[in-house]
Amino acid sequence: MMNYCDNCGGELHYDAKLKSNRCSSCGAVYPVENVFFYEKKYIDDNILESVPAQKVEQNLNLQCKFCGANLQLKEFESTTYCPYCGKLLPIENNKNIIGVDSIIPFHLTKEQAYKKLKRAINFRFLTNKKIFKNLKIKDVTGLYVNTFSFDMNVLCHYSGFLQYTEKDEDNNVLETKNKHVIGMIDEVYKDIIVESNYNLEQHELFNIMPFYYRSAYKFSEDFMQGYEMQPQDKPFKECVEMAEKFIKENLKRKILKRHNSDEIQALNMENEFTNKKYNYCLVPIYFVNTVYKYKKNGIEQEKKVKVLINGQTGKVGKLPKNPLKLLFLIFGCCALIVAIILLILFVF
């Protein structure tokens, strides 16, 4: 819900430089109440059937069942406190909706993000610069992306067969063997980050990490002025399962390392996940969506390109590579290796 200036009625926009809301018409500044908040809540069976946070019906009225006061709900609220009696009131219409817990505000303005992107394009050698030839600042869009941060304990009992390689003193391979292993791992995992929107791939989020979740604030609509939130479409249960999948993959790597092995042949893992907690946090991301036109076999083609920029740190995600530069790099590396081998043969 957009707020408006008390002086002139103009729209307010969150200003990352000022860390406040600023009127787009008269320039009046309205401080945002920054309340530090990053606590995790326990996951129970009921919440596993919930969907991510969604906007509630605007101007939805609610009557306190304790004192009878009439209240008006804000966007994204799934519960609210009565300001008169202080009681916690669940919103019946949204009982299957998870409310947003915290938010990491934009630390970079659109102009700063644009400069970060231009710098990355110029300094990353393999980047296909032709794609960004006509890039303008208006092509940069700031969005809040919904993510979950999970904590959980896991007790893993495992047994199976791993493959390892025997080598001699000169590191020459003698034989590849299998060995039977059995054991237990008891681990505590914290801050496992999972994006909860189908329009954003997990690897795209990882490419611009880290986000400093510990510096998040309690969610307030004041931070949303001038920005939008990505649509919510991934069930909470699926996000929890994804976090558990990350843990299982990490456990497999630990097992290989523990037993000095190279590869898993067959492995049975019994995992018990306990003390599951979550925090639903909005993170700031600048998106650049552009279209690259080129010709292939005389036919004009076009390719959609998406680039992400971390709105907190300014880290730029992966940029499309120029295939000719990539071939040149590979050829150069091969030539260097051949030169080193010839030097060793003829000099030593």
Last residue of a domain, one of 34, 69, 99: 99
Together in a domain, 245 and 183: yes
pTM above 0.85, yes or no: no
209 token code pair: 């990490």
* 147 found inside a domain: yes
Residue range 206-229, pLDDT digits in tens = 999 999 988 899 888 888 888 887
Confidence of residue 277 (pLDDT cuts 50, 70, 90): very high
What SS3 state is found at 72? strand
* 104 found inside a domain: no
Last residue of a domain, one of 99, 127, 152: 99
Together in a domain, 163 and 237: yes
Main-chain dihedrals φ then ψ at residue 105, nearest 5 degrees: -70, 160
Report whether pLDDT(57) > 60. no
Say if residues 281 and 103 touch (Cβ distance below 8 Å).
Answer: yes
Say if residues 30 and 22 touch (Cβ distance below 8 Å).
Answer: yes
In the predicted model, what is the mean pLDDT of residues 172-201? 88
In the predicted model, what is the mean pLDDT of residues 152-177? 85
Sequence-distant contacts of 325-334: CB under 8 A, at least 24 apart: 325/125, 325/126, 325/128, 326/126, 329/125, 329/126
| Percent of the chain residues topping a pLDDT of 90 | 40
Together in a domain, 226 and 312: yes
- Provide the 8-state DSSP code for 26: T
Report whether pLDDT(348) > 80. no
| Percent of the chain residues topping a pLDDT of 70 | 82
* 342 found inside a domain: no
Together in a domain, 123 and 269: yes
In the predicted model, what is the mean pLDDT of residues 62-81? 66
Last residue of a domain, one of 99, 120, 137: 99
Together in a domain, 121 and 45: no
Residue whose entry in the numeric block shows the structure tokens 């904590």:
151
* 198 found inside a domain: yes
Together in a domain, 250 and 307: yes
In the predicted model, what is the mean pLDDT of residues 306-315? 94
* 38 found inside a domain: yes
Report whether pLDDT(89) > 90. no
Residue whose entry in the numeric block shows the structure tokens 């896991």:
154
Together in a domain, 254 and 294: yes
The domain total for the chain is 2
Together in a domain, 137 and 172: yes
Main-chain dihedrals φ then ψ at residue 242, nearest 5 degrees: -65, -40
Give the least confident one: 39-43, 72-76, 165-169, 300-304: 72-76
Together in a domain, 68 and 155: no
- Provide the 8-state DSSP code for 207: H
In the predicted model, what is the mean pLDDT of residues 234-238? 86
Give the least confident one: 14-23, 27-36, 63-72: 63-72
Instruction: Write down the pLDDT at residue 97.
Output: 66
In the predicted model, what is the mean pLDDT of residues 191-200? 86
* 6 found inside a domain: no
* 185 found inside a domain: yes
- Look up the domain containing 78 and give its range: 12-99
* 252 found inside a domain: yes
Together in a domain, 217 and 74: no
Together in a domain, 95 and 118: no
Listed in sequence order, the residues at least 6 apart from 334 whose beta carbon sits closer than 8 Å to its beta carbon are none
- Cis omega (within 30 of 0) on the bond before 323? no
In the predicted model, what is the mean pLDDT of residues 116-139? 87
Together in a domain, 79 and 162: no
